[in-house]
Amino acid sequence: MPPKRQASTATRGKTSTKPTATKPAAKPAPKASAPASAPASRKRKAATLDDEAEKVPAKPVQRKRQKDVQAFVPNQPPTQRLDVYVFGTNCYGELGLGDATKKSELPGPVLNPKLAADTVGVVHLTIGGVHSAALTHDNKILTWGVNDEGTLGRDTTQDPTDVNTKDADQSDSDSDDDEISLNLKEATPMPVDPSHFPKGTIFTQLAATDSSTFALTSEGLVYGWGTFRGSSGPIGFSPTVDFQRTPALIPDLHEVTKLVAGAQHVLALTSKGIVYSWGCDEQRQLGRRRPTRIQDTNPLLPGECALPPNIVDIGRGSYNSFALRKTGAAYAWGSNNFGQTGISANAGDSDAIVLFPTKVTSLRDHRPITCLTGGKDHSIAIANGRCLIWGRIDNKALGLAKEDMPAEKIVRDEYDRPRILTAPTPVKDIEGEVTFVTAGPDHTFAITDKGTAYSWGFNTQCQAGQGRIDEVEKPTLLENKHVKDKKLVCAAAGGQFSLVAGEHMQSNGVHA
C-alpha cells in the first residue's frame, strides 16, 4: 500500500513491544521517539548533566563588542551543476519525475530527466518529509511533492488533463509496480514565482522541514512558506498565519549565513555567531533562552538559542539540534530518549530531553568535528575524515555490527538486547575519507572523497536505494547502472524517498 499522504516524516513499522528497558542494571527501555503527529501530552524528563557536561545558563550572556568584528560578507550561491538521481516512494510525485514514469516506487538511483544539468542546472537540493526543493544555476527555486499545506510555495491546482500517462521503464527491478495517477503540477519540479521576492534577490541555500520550506538570500535574509506541525496537527506558520502558501519574509533575522531544518523546527546561524530557532518546541528542540521580550515566548517567531558566543556551525536531528563553537566544542539539545544528542545522562528513559544547549563531552576526543546531523533516533558526525555515529541500535541506522560497539557504552533492555549506543563510534566498511553525511528518519548516507556513496538502515520503501531489502545492516556501496563510475557529492534523505547528486559529466568527458 502507498504511504499515507502527509507532511510528517514516516516512522518505522517495527518498534519494541516492551515499553521499558534498562542499562546493564535495570532501567526503563527507550520507546521509539514519536514523530510530530504522535501524542506528546506526557511530561518529558529533562536530562541531568553529568559532572563534565556544561549547561549554558538560561540568562542571556552579555557580549562585549569586539573591535575586530568585520562587516557582513554576502553569502555566495553554489555554482556546480549537478546530476540528480532519485529513488524510493513516488506515490505522490516525491521523486519529481513528472510524466516520466507511472511507477510508485524505484528501488535504486535513477537519473531525473526533469532536473537535467544541461537545461535546468541544479546547484543545491533539500528534502522534507514528502517534498523537495532545488536551487538552479540561474537563481530559480524549484519545488515538487506534496503541497497539502502550502509546502511548495506555489499553486498546484490540478487541471482535468494534468495527469501522467507516460510510462518509462527506469527501474532496475523486473517486478511490476502499481501504476499511479499524479497531479503533474506537484510531481514535476516547477519554479516558485519570483515576483514574491524583491527584484535582484539572490538565493544561496534552501532548507525544508516536513511541512515547510525556507530560502536564504545573499544578503542574509530568510523567506519561508508552509506550516509547522505539533503532536495534534498544524500549529501554524506564524502567530497570525496558519498556512503560508506563498513565500514570506521571516521577521527579525539578519545576516544569516546558514539554515538547517529538523522535522518541525529551523535553526539559523548568523555572521556574528548567534543561533536563532523557531517552529515546534515540544521536544525542546529550539533551545531558547529565558524570554526577555513578549514576542520571544512564541515559538513560531525566531528567538535566540541559549548558546555561548562564537558559534561557527549548526546541525539538526529530526527532534534535536546541534551547534559547534569556534573552540571546537559541540553542543546539543532536544529529544534524547535514544541518546541521540550524544549526552548520556538519562539516555534510555522514555521521553528524555536535554532542555538547553549542553556541551557534548563524548565528542571531545574526536575533534575537530566538521559536521553534526542526525535522523529521528540516531546522530552522525564527521571527524578527521571518519564517520562517527550513535543512538538507536535496533533500527540498523547505525551501520555497526554489535562487536564493533564498545560494550560499556551500550544500553540494554530487560531482555539484555542492545538498544542504545551512547558513545560516538567510528563506522567501518567505508573506503576513503568521508566528506559528507546525512540521515533520514531511520537511514543514513555517507559520501567519500572518491565520489562514492554508502547507505544503510531502514529500507522497506527503498529509501536507502539498496533494492528491495527491508534493512541494510552495514554501509553498502550505492551502485547500479545509473550511478556507476559517477562522482557523487551530496545526498538528501526524506521520510520515504531519497536522492543523491553528482558532478555532471559532459559528452566530451569533462566535468561541468
Instruction: Assign 3-class secondary structure to 2-66.
Output: CCCCCCCCCCCCCCCCCCCECCCCCCCCCCCCCCCCCCCCCCCEECCCCCCCCECCCCCCCCCCC
**Dist. CA 79–CA 382, nearest whole Å:** 24
Q: How high is the pLDDT of residue 349?
A: 82
Written as one letter, the residue type at 231 is S
Which grid coordinates belong to 360?
Answer: 557534548
pTM of the model as a whole: 0.85
Q: In what order do the strands lie in the sheet with 105-111?
A: 105-111, 82-89, 497-503, 488-493
* Whole-number pLDDT of residue 418: 92
DSSP 332-366: EEEE-TTSTTS--TTTTSTTEEEEEEEE-GGGGGG
Q: What residues pair up with 82 in beta bridges, in sequence order? A: 503
Q: What is the pLDDT of residue 451?
A: 96
DSSP alpha helix (H) spans, 276-407: none
For residues 336 and 342, the answer to whether their CB atoms sit within 8 Å is no
| pLDDT per position as a tens digit, 83-128 | 999 999 999 999 999 998 878 999 999 999 999 999 999 999 999 9
* Local structure of 100: helix, strand or coil: helix
Return averaged pLDDT per consecutive 10 residues of the chain, 512 residues in all. Answer: 48 37 41 41 38 41 50 95 97 93 92 96 97 98 97 90 51 53 94 97 98 98 98 96 98 97 98 97 92 73 96 98 97 96 86 94 94 97 96 93 92 89 94 96 97 96 94 95 94 96 73 56
pLDDT at 295: 55
Query: Domains, the chain, ranges and CATH?
Result: 45-61+81-503 (2.130.10.30)
431-440 per-position pLDDT tens digit: 999 999 999 9
Q: Which three cell numbers stand for residue 197?
A: 521576492
d(CA 125, CA 80): 12
Angle in degrees, CA 364, 369, 374, rounded to 5: 100
Q: Which of 382, 327, 333 is nearest to 360 (CA)?
A: 333
**DSSP one-letter string for 464-506:** TSSSS-SEEEEEEE--STTTTT--EEEEEE-SSEEEEEEEPBP
Contact between 399 and 457 under an 8 Å Cβ cutoff? The reply is: yes
User: 114 φ, ψ to 5°?
Assistant: -75, -10
* Residue 9 to residue 38: CA distance in whole angstroms: 11
